[in-house]
Amino acid sequence: MKKTKVYIKKAVSLLLTLSLIITLWGAMRTDVYAATANKYGTYTGSKPSKYNYTGNTIHILPKKVFYAKSTGKLYYYAYVYNNTDKTIYGMKNLKITVKTSANKTIASKTFYSGKRRNMTINPGSYKTICYVFEKKYIKNKKFYFGTAKKLKTQAEFVYYT
């Protein structure tokens, strides 16, 4: 009898967990125009506004993008904007591809592969997160972000509410 109660309790717990997790496979593309260009090779984007984005989706927008010459890595500070009506509690298998305005890939990498990264993003708000692309994930090491007028970000992901 005791074992049966444990199994029932585990099954109910699993069903409740599964019913609370809403999974969305997204293929989102965002074109962002640079707010400023500079001689230091840094792309600076503008802050997201809930009035600029439509659809019940998550938007990943570049805040600051640059190469670190000392390490050879690409640093991609991003606004992760929740334009849904649900609170996001985590992300998983986030594949980010950064492209030029001519649609040429600069870098591509999957973050949080196979495991969930806990984060809380309320509806209509955003978090700033830094994603680091190591050398092996960078396709175009000579792109100069300082004069970039526009970057494209493509992201595929699973999020949990």
User: Mind giving me the DSSP string for 14-30?
Assistant: HHHHHHH-----EEEEE
* Residue-averaged pLDDT of the chain: 75
- pLDDT value, residue 15: 32
- pLDDT value, residue 43: 78
Give the range among 31-40, 49-58, 101-110, 131-140 with minimum mean pLDDT.
Answer: 31-40
Q: What are the structural domains of the chain? A: 22-160 (2.60.40)
Helix (H) or strand (E) holding 152: strand 150-160
Is-above-0.75 flag for pTM? no
- Alpha-carbon distance values, 101 to 29, 123, 150, 153 (Å): 12, 29, 6, 10
pLDDT tens-digit readout, 58-77: 888 888 999 988 888 999 99
Give the range among 16-20, 53-57, 114-118, 143-147 with minimum mean pLDDT.
Answer: 16-20
- pLDDT value, residue 3: 54
The average pLDDT across 31-45 equals 57
- pLDDT value, residue 4: 52
Contact at 8 Å (CB) between 133 and 67?
no
